[in-house]
């Protein structure tokens, strides 16, 4: 009885811990987005004030015949626009002249067109001077008047500048203040959550029952024990056992039809194993039996998989595909989604930022808004890989990641897999036919044939193993 209550309490604590962690990660991710939004607003307001200051000075500057840089640039642009317009008109004139000459070789045509060109030239000159006048004082004035205008301009510009500076400092101060306030409040919340998490974790670890450790050693993440899978009369996996340690890259190899994908499907619960059990260390205190979980709960335990043939949502952009993969991370309920509450919008922003960072890591940013139709196969495979990184993975299961890739892409993939292991602190478990890739990236390799284990060890050991060689190359041992 006491034990039952204890385990129940532990369950509650775990739940609480997960919630707190979710909250903390949300706050941590949302803070930079918030700060960026504040800074963007500040930049927008600053540009607006500058614009206004310039506009206020425009009139006095023209009156005082002073070519301020802004005014000069404006004048240049206006003149260039007129030049461009007349360039086209001249071209049109030349074209119609050509056509007229083709029709008749009358010398009168030449003279008419020369006349028209002159007319156009004079019109252009007139327009240019008229335009230039817009930026100069329109009146003939005495020196004293001009001096007075200049003085007025000086005064006005000082006033405007002073005002703009004041505004700008105010804006900056406001933004700084609000950034500081947000940062402080978020950080204090994060720190508070951190304390709570530590406290709950402390209790959890202190109260943990001994059987978790007795079930499997501390550094093992996934332990497959005596797994068997039978389809009708065919024994696809036969009494197989192996351990995947935390933070390693574990490779599963074997000839075609050896039952590799079947093992994956058993672990991710697509198939119900005939016998045997899969143990998984969910966190520091909990070891769970994967046999007890339905397919769609596996990802919540931190196990994410890819598929042999690419299985994307073809109607959605790459970014949205990544958001689909983050499905389990959303906390907003159905009614929140129905009314698009601010909570959902904040969550979406956080997820988008995360998706962009993942895309950046894998070098997929240019494709973020593309539809997967018609993208090259290598890119699609990478998108599948990117998808696994969206839902806090602890164990990533890759089913033939290099199938269909060329040599260069495979090399890139090897680098990428190692990078993912290091950056996301995930353990990687892969099935692959490409021996080069497997030997290159894997720390431990398990070789199987017809559902039976042949050998387990480092790449060098596997290469030296006689059974493996005979299975692959048909050598007589």
Partner 1 sequence: MIEKLLYVILAAVGLYELVDLAVLRRMKKRLVHRARLLNLLMLLVILTGFAFAIEAMTLYLFLQIVLLNIVEMCVLVLATTGIVLIFKTSVTTNFAQGTIATVGAFTAAKLIIYLTANSAMPMSTKLILALVSSAVVCFLIGLFIDTVIFRHSRYSNPVGKQMITMGIVLVLFGLMPVLFGLLPLTVEAFSYEGQIINLPNMFPLFLPNHNLYALCITVAMLVTLFAALRFTKWGLGVRATASNETVASMMGVNTKLITALSWGIAGAFGGVAAFLFAPVGNAVTVSFMTPVQVNAFLASILGGFSSFGGPLVGAVLINLFSSIASAINSVWTNVIVYVLVLLLVLAKPLGLFGKKTAKKV
Partner 2 sequence: MTTLRLSFDRIRKQLASIARHPYFGFLAFGSILVVLRLLAIGGVIPNSLMKSLVITMIYAIIALGFSLLLGYGGLASLGTAGFVGLGTYFIGHFSGTLGYPFAATLLISLLGAIVLGAIVGFISLRIEGMYLAIITLGLSEILREVFKSFTAFTNGVNGLGFRDFALFGLPVSDTAVDFIVIFVFILIILGTLNIIKSPTGRALLAMKNSDSAAQSMGIGLMKYRLLAFILATIYAVIGGLLYMMDQQFSIPTTWSLDFSLNILAAVVVGGAQSITGIILGTFMIFGLNMTVLKEIAFFREYPDATWIVSGLLIILITMFYPGGLIRLIQAIRFWLVKTGKKLKRKWRIHRYGEDD
Among 157, 223, 265, 449, binds partner 1 (CB under 8 A): 265
Q: Does position 241 bind partner 2 by CB under 8 A?
A: no
Hey, is 106 helix, strand or coil? coil
Closer residue to partner 2 in complex, CB, 198/297: 297
Question: Do 371 and 314 contact (CB within 8 A), yes or no?
Answer: yes
> Cβ of residue 196: shortest distance to partner 2, in angstroms?
26
Describe the strand order of the beta sheet including 234-245 as a list of residue ranges: 234-245, 220-231, 275-281, 287-289
Considering the rule CB under 8 A, would residue 340 count as an interface residue with partner 2? yes
State the binding partner of 199 from partner 2, partner 1, none, CB within 5 to 8 A by kind. Answer: none
Decide: is 314 part of the binding site for partner 2 (CB under 8 A). yes
- Pick 204 or 395: Cβ nearer partner 1: 395
- How far CA 2 is from CA of 5, 9, 19, 206, in Å, comes to 5, 10, 26, 16
Q: Which listed residue (157, 268, 410, 444) binds partner 2 by CB under 8 A?
A: 268
Q: Which of residues 154-193 bind partner 2 (CB under 8 A)?
A: none
Which residues have CB under 8 Å from 90's CB, separation 6+? 117, 120
Candidates 223, 261, 321, 388: give the one binding partner 1 (CB under 8 A).
261
In DSSP terms, 305 is beta-bridged to: 397
φ and ψ at residue 308, rounded to 5 degrees: -60, -50
Q: Which stretch binds partner 2 (CB under 8 A): 7-15, 92-100, 101-109, 212-220?
A: 92-100
| CA dist., res. 435 & res. 450, Å (int) | 19
Specify the DSSP class assigned to residue 453. E
Residue 428 forms beta bridges with which residues? 249, 396
Q: Does 90 bind partner 1 (CB under 8 A)?
A: no
From candidates 69, 233, 294, 342, binder to partner 1 by CB under 8 A: 233
Nearest residue (CB) to partner 1, 76 versus 309: 309
- What is the x/- site pattern for partner 2, positions 16-55, by CB under 8 A? -----------------------------------xx--x
**What is the distance between the alpha carbons of residues 8 and 11, in angstroms, rounded to a whole number?**
5
Residue 307 as a binder of partner 1 (CB under 8 A): the answer is yes
Tell me the three state secondary structure of residue 241: strand
Question: Around Cβ 456, how many Cβ atoms within 10 Å?
Answer: 17
CA–CA gap between residue 257 and residue 424 (Å, rounded): 32
Residue 314 contacts partner 1 per CB under 8 A: no
Min CB(117)–partner 1 separation in Å = 56
232 belongs to the binding site for partner 1 (CB under 8 A):
yes
338 binds partner 2 (CB under 8 A): yes
Rounded distance between C-alpha atoms, residue 275 and residue 295, angstroms: 17
**Shortest Å distance, C-beta 352 to partner 1:** 29
Query: Of partner 2, partner 1, none, which one does residue 115 interact with (CB within 5 to 8 Å by kind)?
Result: none
Under rule CB under 8 A, residue 62 binds partner 2: no
Q: How far is CA 168 from CA 38, 154, 162, 180, 442, in A?
A: 15, 21, 10, 18, 57
270 contacts partner 1 (rule: CB under 8 A): yes
DSSP summary character for residue 272: -
- Rounded Cα distance, 21 and 27, in Å: 10
Biggest CA pair distance of the chain: 117
Residue 297 sits in the site that holds partner 2 (CB under 8 A): yes
Tokens 């802004």 appear where? 70
Binding track over 365-404 against partner 2, x by CB under 8 A: ----------------------x---x-------------
Task: Determine the size of the site formed for partner 1 (CB under 8 A).
Answer: 6
* Stretch 118-157: interaction string toward partner 2, x if CB under 8 A: ----------------------------------------
The string of DSSP codes covering 205-223 is HHT--THHHHHS-TTEEEE
Do you know the residue count of the chain?
477
Of the residues 313, 353, 368, 435, which one makes contact with partner 2 according to CB under 8 A: 313
**Binding site residues, partner 2, CB under 8 A:** 51-52, 55-56, 58, 88, 91-92, 94-95, 98, 268, 270, 294-300, 304-305, 307, 311-316, 320, 323-325, 327-328, 330, 332, 334, 337-340, 344, 387, 391
**Binding site residues, partner 1, CB under 8 A:** 232-233, 261, 265, 270, 307
């Amino acid at each position: 009885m006491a034990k039952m209550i204890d385990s129940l309490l532990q369950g509650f604590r775990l739940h609480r811990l997960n919630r707190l962690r979710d909250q903390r990660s949300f706050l941590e991710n949302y803070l930079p987005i918030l700060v960026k939004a504040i800074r963007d607003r500040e930049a927008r307001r600053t540009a607006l004030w500058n614009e206004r200051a310039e506009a206020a000075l425009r009139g006095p500057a023209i009156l005082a015949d002073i070519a301020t840089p802004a005014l000069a640039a404006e004048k240049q642009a206006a003149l260039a626009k007129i030049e461009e317009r007349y360039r086209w008109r001249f071209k049109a004139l030349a074209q119609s002249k050509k056509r007229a000459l083709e029709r008749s070789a009358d010398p009168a045509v030449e003279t008419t067109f020369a006349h028209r060109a002159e007319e156009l030239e004079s019109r252009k000159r007139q327009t240019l001077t008229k335009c230039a006048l817009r930026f100069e004082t329109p009146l003939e004035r005495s020196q004293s008047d001009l001096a007075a205008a200049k003085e007025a301009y000086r005064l006005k510009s000082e006033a405007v500048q002073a005002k703009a500076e004041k505004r700008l400092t105010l804006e900056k101060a406001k933004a700084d203040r609000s950034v500081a306030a947000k940062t402080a409040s978020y950080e204090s919340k994060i720190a508070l959550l951190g304390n709570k998490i530590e406290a709950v974790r402390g209790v959890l670890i202190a109260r943990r029952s001994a059987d978790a450790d007795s079930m499997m050693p501390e550094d093992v993440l996934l332990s497959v024990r005596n797994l068997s899978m039978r389809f009708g009369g065919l024994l696809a996996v036969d009494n197989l056992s192996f351990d995947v340690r935390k933070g390693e890259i574990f490779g599963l190899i074997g000839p075609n039809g050896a039952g590799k994908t079947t093992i994956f499907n058993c672990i991710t619960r697509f198939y119900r194993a005939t016998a045997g059990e899969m143990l998984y260390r969910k966190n520091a205190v909990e070891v769970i039996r994967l046999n007890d979980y339905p397919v769609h709960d596996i990802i919540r335990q931190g196990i994410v998989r890819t598929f042999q043939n690419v299985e994307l949502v073809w109607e959605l952009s790459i970014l949205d595909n990544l958001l689909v993969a983050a499905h389990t991370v959303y906390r907003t309920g159905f009614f929140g989604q129905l009314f698009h509450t601010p909570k959902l919008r904040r969550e979406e922003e956080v997820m988008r930022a995360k998706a962009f960072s993942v895309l950046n890591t894998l070098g997929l940013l240019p494709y973020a808004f593309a539809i997967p139709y018609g993208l090259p196969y290598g890119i699609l495979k990478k998108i599948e890989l990117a998808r696994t990184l969206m839902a806090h993975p602890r164990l990533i299961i890759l089913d033939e990641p290099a199938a269909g890739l060329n040599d260069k892409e495979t090399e890139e993939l090897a680098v990428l897999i190692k990078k993912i292991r290091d950056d996301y602190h995930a353990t990687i478990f892969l099935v692959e036919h490409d021996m080069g890739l497997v030997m290159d990236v894997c720390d431990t390799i398990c070789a199987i044939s017809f559902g039976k284990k042949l050998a387990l060890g480092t790449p060098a050991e596997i290469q030296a193993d006689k059974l493996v060689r005979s299975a692959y190359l048909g050598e007589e041992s």
